[in-house]
Amino acid sequence: MSPEPADTSAAPADPQAPELYLNRELSQLEFNFRVLAQAKDPRVPLLERLKYLCISCTNLDEFFEIRAATVRTALQFGGPLPPDGIQPSRALELIHDKAAELVAEQYRYWNEALRPELNAAGIRILANSAWNARQRKWLHRYFRDELLPVLSPLGLDPVHPFPRILNKSLNVVVVLEGKDAFGRNGGMAIVRAPRSLPRIIQLPPEISGGQHDFVLLSAVLTAFVDDLFTGMRVKGAYQFRVTRNSELFVDEEEVENLASALKDELASRGFRPAVRLEIAENCPRPIVHTLLQNFGLSENAVYRINGPVNLNRVTQVYDLVDRPDLKFPAFKPGPVAIDEESPFETLRQRDVLLHHPYQGFQSVLDLLQHAANDPDVLAIKQTLYRTGKDSKIIDHLITAARNGKDVTVCVELRARFDEEANIHLADQLQEAGVQVMYGVVGYKTHAKMMLIVRREGKKLQRYVHLGTGNYHAGTARAYTDIGLMSSHPDIAADVHDIFQQLSGLAPAIKLRKMMQSPFTLHKGILARIEREAKLARAGKGGHIIAKMNALNEAQVIRALYEASQAGVKIELIVRGACCLRPGVPGMSENITVRSVVGRFLEHSRVYWFGNGGKAETFCSSADWMERNLLRRVETCFPILDPRLAERVYDEELANYLNDNQQAWELREDGSYVRVSPAADEMPYSAQGALLAKLCG
């Protein structure tokens, strides 16, 4: 089911008209169809296709935990309508219909195509019905030895009310007949799979006959669950999983210690209100009704599953199977034009651009390590949003502090799903003598910046690193991002001032070259869009190209509509949700929107404004979203070196506008169509071109 199309027979002249705005949640679901399309693409290696399928499932989990949960909260407590004007009750109906379509397609593809192809390649995920006698005997023994001792089934009766079910945990509801040891009549019981149990079990080759044979924990539980209920008859066993609202709610102005308050919230996150129930397709209707009642859910929150309810867990097979022939070819990141032994000398002469993952994140780590051990470096300041486990960034910051540097780190404790990890690393840094701050009350610090202060002769010299992505070595290998290293005095002074603001020691000030949220970035974008519109009205053209993860900020969308009406050519590359409706006659026919979904997750944010032949190129940590522009601390930095600006334009904009392999065009009705080469065109992949150009 496609999003409700706009009636464009008489296109509205008002750029605020609700029908001109696509629903954010439905647009986000459309993105997951594009991810699923990667799983179906025969050009993609088989195990990578498995990974894409699992990513689409994991994305859907997060969608329900955050986006669908937000809509349910709006239904319960009210609030302003989004720009599309759709009431929460109607939005939930549309979400259910679209999500049900996605789920059905995920499992159809898994059952009918991907699983058989894996089997043919010697990678078998065996269902109960496929077990031979020897496999069943081994699995039964495994159940008794490894699983049964840690399982605690709970019968449902007046003495044993319905248990608390942890968010996204695997459970089995069992229907029983007969009497137990105390003479109690059978009924229903719940078997919860503890987190300690592996979700994927690999069969020994000597038992299975194959090198890569696996069984899902859910299949083992349902096959041998009767061992838990001796003397009773199991009439049915049905796996289920509940998804809960995972937004954390902390009134920062009312708490004395944000870290402590977040720890309390994290402890209860797994048991917040339910938003979705996934259950085995063959589960009887009365049991489904009972579960819905216990979780406080309506009919439009249940999804019947033809397969494992936690299909995303199959992604573990990717790492368990050593088959390079079924994965993307390995690549080595290309070199960065910086002297590894004397990075500061290079940066005094010129700016250095990094394009991840085609160029390695190691250059950032090397710069920080060099600063940590350089006796002339006096201070290091850093923002941290996500870092990953065992981060070298943290090691280098601790080394710097122990070497007597003044080290200040702004740790964003509210980085979604990384809150616990960030609390831990903040404690770790503080124990090492690093000054840790948690940003600004009410505003997440999403900016990515590093500042190094070094004494050089009689003066202090500042060096900066700014990026569109996190200081996370893992995502730097999987996400596309732009980084800039510079000693430009104005850029360095701007970064210094932003750090002063974060520490609470500076008022809102006018930056020299950069823009920042929540003060100047929103206004700066609107002003530049209007400038392009004025140029177009004066017959001097007007051109905007912008690449980002998502677009939903209403004022920016209205400004783009008005610029389109003025004749500005607007080319948007938006990976995920986009609420702007392109191609509406008289309103947005000069706007195109495309999404690129490939081997790497497109994560860089680049804004380019034609400016009458004096183009401006910016990179940013911010998408054109309401939260990024108005409720976060974000940075947007210009690429001042003409050679580097040209490189950003070529690699991040023109390159992606030419893609006809992994690109999708957004249509007026909110659906996407895959771009194909024209009759006279050669196939062209933007990511493939960058691998060839930068990695050699």
Q: What is the pLDDT of residue 414?
A: 66
Two tokens at 299?
């009919």
Q: How far apart are CA 635 and CA 387, in angstroms?
A: 18
Same structural domain for residues 369 and 381? yes
Q: What is the pLDDT of residue 598?
A: 96
Is 603 known to sit in a ligand binding site?
yes
Q: Any bridge partners for residue 177, and if so which?
A: 233
Has residue 68 got a pLDDT over 80? yes
Has residue 16 got a pLDDT over 50? yes
C-beta of residue 234 within 8 angstroms of C-beta of residue 158: no
Is 59 known to sit in a ligand binding site?
yes
Has residue 342 got a pLDDT over 70? yes
- Span 413-425, pLDDT tens digits: 766 666 677 777 8
Two tokens at 324?
């390079």
- The structural domain count of the chain equals 3
Same structural domain for residues 501 and 556? no
C-beta of residue 195 within 8 angstroms of C-beta of residue 169: yes
Same structural domain for residues 475 and 410? yes
Cis peptide before 518 (omega within 30 of 0): yes
Q: What is the mean pLDDT of residues 261-287?
A: 77
Q: What is the pLDDT of residue 154?
A: 85
Has residue 3 got a pLDDT over 50? no
Has residue 390 got a pLDDT over 90? no
Q: Any bridge partners for residue 484, and if so which?
A: 353, 466
Same structural domain for residues 429 and 543? no
- Residue 285: strand, helix, or coil: helix
- Given pLDDT bands bounded at 50, 70 and 90, which one contains residue 18? very high
C-beta of residue 436 within 8 angstroms of C-beta of residue 461: no
Amino acid occupying residue 301: A
| 332 is a domain residue | no
Q: What is the pLDDT of residue 265?
A: 53
Q: How far apart are CA 364 and CA 352, in angstroms?
A: 11
| 264 is a domain residue | no
Q: What is the pLDDT of residue 1?
A: 42
Q: What is the pLDDT of residue 149?
A: 93
Same structural domain for residues 86 and 214? yes
As a whole-number percent, the residues of the chain with pLDDT over 90 amount to 77
| 422 is a domain residue | yes
Has residue 243 got a pLDDT over 50? yes
Q: What is the pLDDT of residue 263?
A: 54
DSSP run (H or E) holding 26 = helix 24-40
| 13 is a domain residue | no
- Given pLDDT bands bounded at 50, 70 and 90, which one contains residue 559? very high
| 40 is a domain residue | yes
Geometric angle at alpha carbon 547, from 545 and 551, rounded to 5°: 105
What is the residue range of 194's domain? Answer: 22-258+272-326
Same structural domain for residues 406 and 527? no
- Given pLDDT bands bounded at 50, 70 and 90, which one contains residue 253? very low
Amino acid occupying residue 524: G
C-beta of residue 262 within 8 angstroms of C-beta of residue 229: no
Same structural domain for residues 507 and 521? no
Is 479 known to sit in a ligand binding site?
yes
Active-site residue, from 212, 446, 488, 543:
446
Same structural domain for residues 467 and 584? no
C-beta of residue 582 within 8 angstroms of C-beta of residue 588: yes
| 410 is a domain residue | yes
- The Cβ of residue 28 has, within 10 Å, a number of other Cβ atoms equal to 23
479-486/543-548 β-pairing: unpaired
Q: How far apart are CA 110 and CA 346, in angstroms?
A: 51
C-beta of residue 630 within 8 angstroms of C-beta of residue 647: no
What interhelical angle do 521-537 and 554-566 show, nearest 10?
A: 10
Q: What is the pLDDT of residue 254?
A: 45
50, 160, 174, 238 from 234: Cα distances, Å: 34, 19, 7, 11
| 520 is a domain residue | yes
- Given pLDDT bands bounded at 50, 70 and 90, which one contains residue 185? low
Q: How far apart are CA 240 and CA 478, in angstroms?
A: 32
Q: What is the pLDDT of residue 319?
A: 95
Instruction: Please report, to the nearest 10 degrees, the dihedral formed by the alpha carbons of residues 203, 204, 206, 207 taken in order.
Output: -30
Two tokens at 403?
């070497």
CATH number at residue 465: 3.30.870.10
144, 225, 370, 550, 597 from 362: Cα distances, Å: 47, 50, 12, 28, 25
- Span 23-53, pLDDT tens digits: 999 999 999 999 999 999 999 999 999 999 9
Same structural domain for residues 349 and 495? yes
Q: What is the mean pLDDT of residues 349-363?
A: 96
C-beta of residue 45 within 8 angstroms of C-beta of residue 326: yes
Same structural domain for residues 541 and 502? no
Has residue 204 got a pLDDT over 60? yes
Same structural domain for residues 526 and 588? yes
- Residue 102: strand, helix, or coil: helix
200 versus 414: the higher-pLDDT residue is 200
Has residue 583 got a pLDDT over 70? yes
Q: What is the mean pLDDT of the chain?
A: 91
Same structural domain for residues 294 and 417? no
Across 536-681, the runs of DSSP E, i.e. the strands, are: 543-548, 569-574, 591-596, 601-602, 605-609, 616-620, 632-638, 663-666, 672-674
Q: What is the pLDDT of residue 184?
A: 56
- Span 445-477, pLDDT tens digits: 999 999 999 999 999 999 999 999 999 888 999
- Given pLDDT bands bounded at 50, 70 and 90, which one contains residue 181? low
Has residue 651 got a pLDDT over 60? yes
Residue where a domain stops, chosen among 513, 529, 553? 513
Is 656 known to sit in a ligand binding site?
no
493, 525, 599, 619, 642 from 546: Cα distances, Å: 26, 11, 21, 10, 18
Q: What is the pLDDT of residue 179?
A: 65
| 690 is a domain residue | yes
Those residues whose C-beta lies under 8 Å from the C-beta of residue 148, and which sit 6 or more positions away, are 227, 228
160 flagged as catalytic: no
CATH number at residue 153: 3.30.1840.10
683 versus 16: the higher-pLDDT residue is 683
